[in-house]
Chains A and B, each alone.
Chain A
Amino acid sequence: MNRLSAVFLREFKGYFATPLAYVFLVIFLGLTGGFTFYLGGFFDQGQADLRSFFVFHPWLYLFLIPAVGMRLWAEENRSGTIELLLTLPIPLWTAVLGKFLAAWAFVALGLILTAPIWATVNYLGQPDNGVILASYLGSLMMAGGYLAICSFTSSLTRSQVIAFVISVVLCFLFTITGVSSFAEAGRAFLPLALLDTIVGLSFIQHFNSIMNGVIDLRDLVFFGSITALFLYATAIVIDFKKGA
């Protein structure tokens, strides 16, 4: 536990050692605000809810989460500190999990800082705060899924840029499949069962149902499983490199 927290704290502080943290937070807050009020038509809808805020999260995460996750392992690979980290008495899963949790906590911080939007909607009307809380939870779980994917791609390379690009592509695949036009286009040439499976793996599908205020355990399990799967894959890649 002590070791996990050591890895976690080092990684978390690492975000603030460079301007990356502040750039990320400013862009994240700027974009969530901008999307909510301009693209989402927050005021035009005349509804006291945060749908127009949350609906853009998958698309924001698509680019912003890879920016947070790309350094997780690629930077260790590049600078050689991976050799230091892996020869310290830390079980591999502790290192993988500690780093992931740090990145996740950082994204959570970004989400917490969007609280003014929540305050605004509460000032303007009487929103269903249960739904909003569920949406925050769903958004956080979804961010975890995206981050685990980035952790995996980051472990494959020593270049943060490559990690970023591959992460965006993978995250895009897990996102676009939930868009209704994808399902319509896919119906023409994919067997229905396969299409269902693909759509079922989409982050948007699962996030939408949470966003509607229904915290279905299956959706949370979905994000949890994706996260666990890709973290496991991260550990396998790192372990495989030791033997190669």
Chain B
Amino acid sequence: MIEIEHLVKRFGPLAAVDDLSFRVSTGEVLGFLGPNGAGKSTTMKMITGFLTPSSGSIRVCGHDVATDPLGVKESIGYLPEGAPAYPDMTPLGFLRFIAQVRGLSGVKAVLAVDRAIEQTDILAVIDQPIDTLSKGFKRRVGIAQAILHDPPVLIMDEPTDGLDPNQKFEVRRLIQAMAANKTIVISTHILEEVEAICTRALIIDRGRVVADGTPQELLLRTSRHLGVVVDVALEDRVAAHAALTAFKDLAAEELNGVIQFFVPRHLDQAPIVAVAEALKAGGISPRALRVVTGRLDDVFRTLTRGEAGTRSAA
């Protein structure tokens, strides 16, 4: 459980985070999105107690960051941006160090380290110095460190950055497996990832929330999401138009020798059955008939377009 209220962080005249308020509950996987410099990392650094807010309050599992920073740090597993780890240590030594600092000892520590190694699949490199590891392994060592003490809150800054598709899949699966009884916040630039694992997406731009909802809700912000596309041959043009004319906001364009009709969604549903029946009634056999899925990329671009470089202090 994370509760953030009116959070502000100023760096000199620049407000990196500007009156941000949101809550994340147990069981939620929050995807934290935004262009570079939007304030994602800064917010995460404040939640984890690395940076002190200029104003506003943060509570994690009931502990206030300002008055009980250690309580907050104990409840959180944190993967900082770039997954920093001591380069001269081996993953095993590093994880043992984390276990000791986290107050685990004896059998508990051994079990926790073993579990983290298994979950992140880093057994193969467990005795190599961290600075000799590939980017993917380094990232996974960082994740292992974050989940070591089975924290109720997990905050990960770009957990899949630098991983290959297989590793990304594994990390997403790991996050999903842990999601049920944890509060998870991840930041990412990869929007498919949000659709794949996040129960909720929060888009921020210039330190402010510009969108907050489930990935599905955000997709409904695009006009094309759940629309139906019908391709018909040129000669069926008029008949098809007649058959589909009952649909609101029908659009048509010519593409590579076929006519493509677009029927927007109706009441948040894809009207594919209705379209198919209308075509059948009109005696038209389409070349193709499919439902379009909107892209979070488009939502993201629409919401965060603007000169990211010219932020004012406001």
Other than A2-B100, A10-B86, A18-B88, give 14 A-B pairs with Cβ distance below 8 A: A6-B97, A13-B93, A17-B89, A80-B82, A83-B45, A83-B50, A83-B84, A84-B84, A84-B145, A87-B50, A88-B98, A89-B102, A90-B101, A242-B51
Q: Which residues of B contact A242 (CB under 8 A)?
A: 50-52
Q: Which residues of A contact B129 (CB under 8 A)?
A: 17
A3 at the interface (CB under 8 A from B): yes
Residue in B86, B88, B129 with the greatest tally of chain A CB atoms within 10 Å: B86
B234 at the interface (CB under 8 A from A): no
Chain A residues 1-57 with CB under 8 Å of chain B are 2-3, 5-7, 9-10, 13-14, 17-18
Complex-state Cα separation, A142 to B48, whole angstroms: 37
Whether B78 lies near A87 (C-beta < 8 A) is: yes
Which single member of B80, B89, B93, B100 contacts A87 (CB below 8 Å)?
Answer: B80
Type the 1/0 row for A62-98, where 1 means its CB is closer than 8 Å to any CB of B: 0000000000000000011101101111110000000
Q: Which residues of B contact A116 (CB under 8 A)?
A: none
Residue in A80, A81, A88 with the greatest tally of chain B CB atoms within 10 Å: A88
Whether B51 lies near A81 (C-beta < 8 A) is: no
B73 at the interface (CB under 8 A from A): yes
Interface residue count for B (Cβ, 8 Å)? 31
How far is the CB of B76 from the nearest CB of chain A, in Å? 7
Query: What would 6 A/B residue contacts be, using CB atoms closer than 8 Å?
Result: A3-B101, A80-B84, A83-B81, A86-B50, A87-B80, A242-B52
Whether A87 lies near B49 (C-beta < 8 A) is: yes
Which single member of A6, A17, A81, A83 contacts B101 (CB below 8 Å)?
Answer: A6
Whether A86 lies near B82 (C-beta < 8 A) is: no
A130 at the interface (CB under 8 A from B): no
Q: Which residues of B contact A89 (CB under 8 A)?
A: 70, 73-74, 101-103
Complex-state Cα separation, A87 to B65, whole angstroms: 11
Chain A residues 88-125 with CB under 8 Å of chain B are 88-91
Whether A3 lies near B78 (C-beta < 8 A) is: no
Whether B76 lies near A87 (C-beta < 8 A) is: yes
B302 at the interface (CB under 8 A from A): no
How far is the CB of A51 from the nearest CB of chain B, in Å? 39
Whether B80 lies near A7 (C-beta < 8 A) is: no
A243 at the interface (CB under 8 A from B): yes
List residues of A whose CB falls within 8 A of some B CB. Answer: 2-3, 5-7, 9-10, 13-14, 17-18, 79-81, 83-84, 86-91, 242-244
Whether A79 lies near B87 (C-beta < 8 A) is: yes
How far is the CB of A170 from the nearest CB of chain B, in Å? 27
How far is the CB of A198 from the nearest CB of chain B, in Å? 37
The majority secondary structure among interface residues of chain A is: helix
Whether A81 lies near B84 (C-beta < 8 A) is: yes
Whether B73 lies near A88 (C-beta < 8 A) is: yes
Which single member of B80, B81, B87, B89 contacts A10 (CB below 8 Å)?
Answer: B89
How far is the CB of A140 from the nearest CB of chain B, in Å? 26
Complex-state Cα separation, A243 to B81, whole angstroms: 19
Q: Which residues of B contact A243 (CB under 8 A)?
A: 51-52
B85 at the interface (CB under 8 A from A): yes
Complex-state Cα separation, A35 to B100, whole angstroms: 43
Chain B residues 83-110 with CB under 8 Å of chain A are 84-89, 93, 97-98, 100-103, 105
Q: Which residues of A contact B88 (CB under 8 A)?
A: 14, 17-18
Whether A6 lies near B100 (C-beta < 8 A) is: yes
Q: Which residues of A contact B87 (CB under 8 A)?
A: 79
Whether B49 lies near A2 (C-beta < 8 A) is: no
Which single member of A10, A17, A18, A86 contacts B97 (CB below 8 Å)?
Answer: A10
Which single member of B70, B85, B98 contacts A91 (CB below 8 Å)?
Answer: B70
Whether A2 lies near B52 (C-beta < 8 A) is: no
Complex-state Cα separation, A242 to B52, whole angstroms: 5
6 nearest A-B pairs in the assembled complex, by CB-CB distance: A17-B88, A80-B84, A6-B100, A89-B73, A243-B52, A87-B48
Which single member of B50, B89, B101 contacts A7 (CB below 8 Å)?
Answer: B101
Known: A6-B101, A84-B80, A89-B102. A14 touches B86 (CB 8 A): yes
Residue of A nearest to B104 (CB): A2
Q: Which residues of B contact A79 (CB under 8 A)?
A: 84, 86-87
Residue of B nearest to A84 (CB): B84
Whether A2 lies near B73 (C-beta < 8 A) is: no
Residue of A nearest to B52 (CB): A243
